[in-house]
Amino acid sequence: MLFSHALIRGGVHPEGHKQLSNDNIIMRLPAPKRLYISLKQHTGLPAKAIVKAGDRVIAGQLIATGSGSSANLHAPQSGRVLQIADHRAAIPGGGEELMIHLLCDPKQQNTSVKLDNHGKSRTELIDIIEAAGVVGMGGAVFPAATKLRSTLNKQIDTLLINGCECEPYLTCDDKVMQEQSVEVVGGIRYLLQASGAAKAIIGIEDNKQQALQCLTQACSEDDNIEVKSLPTHYPMGSAKQFIQALCLVEVPKGKRSTDVGVFVQNVATCVAIYNAIRYAKPMTHRVVTLSGGALEKPMNIEAPIGTLISELVATCGGLKSTASRIVIGGPMMGHTINNMHTPIIKGTSGILFLVEDELPQQVSSPCVSCGRCVAACPMGLLPNTMAELIANDDLEGASKHGLSSCLLCGSCAFICPASLPLTQYFNYANGELWRQNKMQQKAQLARRLNQQRSIRLEKEAVQKAAEKAAKAAEKAAKKAQKAAKTPKKTPTTAEQEA
């Protein structure tokens, strides 16, 4: 494919470090002794547990139900529920989440059954995906069925499959495309039916030549599926940049990709969808990249959801040196954790154990107004100006400069010669604005409820006064009626003489 960098605004070229983990095949992790399955596996509300302590479950059994913006959870392994309690979670800032603690029994497992879902309607396919608890595995972790339902009232022309994996170190999608290309293409065929799209385009960065070859061969008999090579350019995998590069269409601010006739999905999600529809297998496992200079043997592992990070590290031979930083996800957009005894979730794409030499400069200096962050911003924003406004607590000013359009991709912070924590500024500002908005909504709700109470009390007072007046009038009427019916007394002779 002929590609012009003019199609993509900004971006950077961080060192890939992908050679650390992409030489070996995906390792299938045996059933661990225990799993800690968080009820919050995705964007949206937590799922609701339908099992209790002491219950025995089999692999693939539904153990928590989702509704609306949440997704179903299934047991990755057979075993017994020990308890449903809080446990340390791999979330920003640390903390705990409610989890199902499962004691595994590797001897008792489920077997998959090949199904014939040919001729299913779009709604029926989406229902199957929803029942399987499939979520997006490319970063947003949004329930796939909810996203697909939004296409039912839209005209979708093109299905885009994101195989860029532009984050440094991460190679899980690359290995999935190489080793599970048939499943990827199978999932794409189902997605074409479910979304109503006429064609599909698989976009892969040109540093993944083997994946390009495998998928090109896998879809060689599909006239409506095309594989295109894209230049290695961060953040090429971001949805808006990905759409612009492949479809030459820019998604307007405040709009979604479906508004311009495009539906985007990740390659690993395609595999999960294929397994759900073809084999009735719920989403219980995922491929995770473990990499970084502190790890003895970086690799990609297909592990059950709920496996502790410490067990994955042990599978990689442990740490050969102390990790200066442990990152969930990629180094550009991931977050730091400080405890390895936390479980992976459906959205855990990578776990990095970085040494000091792999970290950016820690000491910041004043902005030199070089403008590199402006040139690097893929959304055409002014990161230096926004950061200055946020530092002066002018969040409204930062919003007017496009803070809501920031991808939090980290390109500006990566290129900054002063090592300013620009992404942290924007992350903080977004969180603070969200908090203020919530407080404002609560205050508005309180005022509205107070007004409704005042109106209700006023109506009640008027009604009581009316009822009181009515009773008084009724009483007076009865008294008058009684007086009218009482005969007048005839005066006696003595009274008349007097």
**Which structural domain, as residue segments, surrounds residue 93?**
5-103+116-304
Residue 201: closest CA among 180, 229, 231: 229
Residue 64 β-bridge partners? 49, 73
What is d(CA 210, CA 226) in angstroms, rounded to the nearest whole number? 16
The phi and psi torsions of 63 (rounded to 5 degrees) equal -120, -15
Does 16 reside within a domain? yes
Does 452 reside within a domain? no
**498 residues of the chain, pLDDT tens digit each:** 344 445 578 899 999 999 999 989 999 998 899 999 999 988 778 999 999 999 999 999 999 998 767 899 999 999 999 999 999 999 887 889 999 999 999 776 655 555 666 678 999 999 999 999 999 998 778 899 999 999 999 999 999 999 999 999 999 999 999 999 999 999 999 999 999 999 999 999 999 999 999 999 999 999 999 999 999 999 999 998 999 999 988 888 888 899 999 999 999 999 999 999 999 999 999 999 999 999 999 999 999 999 999 999 999 999 999 999 999 999 999 999 999 999 999 999 999 999 999 998 778 899 999 999 999 999 999 999 999 999 999 999 999 999 999 999 999 999 999 999 999 899 999 989 989 988 999 999 999 999 999 999 999 999 999 988 888 888 888 888 877 777 666 665 665 555
Does 485 reside within a domain? no
Helix (H, G, I), strand (E, B) or coil at 291: strand
The length of the chain in residues reads 498
Does 108 reside within a domain? no
Residue 75 Rama label (left phi>0; alpha psi -120 to 50; beta): beta
| Distant-in-sequence, close-in-space partners of 94: CB < 8 Å, separation ≥ 6 | 88, 337, 338, 339
Does 498 reside within a domain? no
Does 258 reside within a domain? yes
Q: Cβ of 382: how many Cβ atoms within 10 Å? A: 17
How many Cα atoms are found within 13 Å in the side-chain-facing hemisphere of 425? 25
Provide the residue type at 153 as one letter: N
Helix (H, G, I), strand (E, B) or coil at 62: strand
Query: What DSSP element (H or E) covers 159?
Result: strand 158-162
What is d(CA 150, CA 152) in angstroms, rounded to the nearest whole number? 6
CA distances to 40, 170, 313, 358 from 23, rounded to whole Å, are 33, 13, 18, 20
User: Model's pTM, two decimal places?
Assistant: 0.86
String of DSSP letters for 69-137: T---EE-SS-EEEEEEEEEE---TT--EEEEEEEEE-TTS---------TT--HHHHHHHHHHTT-B--
Are 66 and 94 within 8 A, CB to CB?
Answer: no
| Distant-in-sequence, close-in-space partners of 12: CB < 8 Å, separation ≥ 6 | 234, 376, 411, 414, 415
Residue 336: closest CA among 316, 347, 322, 352: 352
Helix (H, G, I), strand (E, B) or coil at 461: helix
Indicate the number of domains in the chain: 1
Rg of the chain over all Cα atoms, to the nearest angstrom: 32
* Residue 107, token pair as written in the block: 């001897």
What is d(CA 461, CA 193) in angstroms, rounded to the nearest whole number? 61
What is d(CA 70, CA 74) in angstroms, rounded to the nearest whole number? 13
**209-218 and 181-195 are packed helices; what angle lies between their axes, rounded to 10 degrees?**
60
Q: What angle do CA 361, 364, 368 make, to 5 degrees?
A: 115
Does 486 reside within a domain? no
What is d(CA 126, CA 135) in angstroms, rounded to the nearest whole number? 12
* Residue 35, token pair as written in the block: 């799993």
What pLDDT does residue 2 have? 41
Query: What DSSP element (H or E) covers 225?
Result: strand 225-230
Give 498: exposed, middle or buried? Use CB within 10 Å, 0-12, 13-18, 19+.
Answer: exposed
What is d(CA 339, CA 110) in angstroms, rounded to the nearest whole number? 32
CA distances to 20, 167, 245, 368, 412 from 13, rounded to whole Å, are 18, 10, 17, 22, 12
What pLDDT does residue 43 have? 76
What pLDDT does residue 114 have? 59
- CATH, residue 138: 3.40.50.11540
What is d(CA 187, CA 275) in angstroms, rounded to the nearest whole number? 8
What is d(CA 66, CA 146) in angstroms, rounded to the nearest whole number? 11
Residue 202: closest CA among 164, 241, 155: 164
How many Cα atoms are found within 13 Å in the side-chain-facing hemisphere of 24? 15
What is d(CA 54, CA 285) in angstroms, rounded to the nearest whole number? 23
Q: Are strands 325-328 and 335-337 parallel, antiparallel or unpaired?
A: antiparallel
Does 92 reside within a domain? yes
Ordered strands of the 34-38 beta sheet: 34-38, 96-104, 79-88, 56-57
